[in-house]
Amino acid sequence: MARPAVALELRDLTAAADLIEALRGTPPATEAAARRRQQLADRLDRALFARLITPNGHRS
């Protein structure tokens, strides 16, 4: 079975919900929500970049 390009762990689901709200234009309700959004966005950015430079998933 092929691995997804970007996988989210269960603990990231709250952050993912926060990020979806951000994409909808809803401001974070708390400082913690703002931090979760930023942390998930940073992780997704790194994961997507890694996927772009290693399209077959191979790492040197």
pLDDT in tens, 3-35: 665 666 666 677 777 778 878 888 888 898 888
**Inter-residue contact 13 to 7 (CB < 8 Å):** no
How far apart CA 51 and CA 9 sit, in angstroms, is: 17
**51 pLDDT more than 70:** yes
Could you say which DSSP state residue 59 is in? -
DSSP 27: P
CB contact at 8 A, 19 and 35:
no
Overall pTM surpassing 0.85 (yes/no)? no
Tens-place pLDDT, residues 32-49? 888 887 887 788 887 777
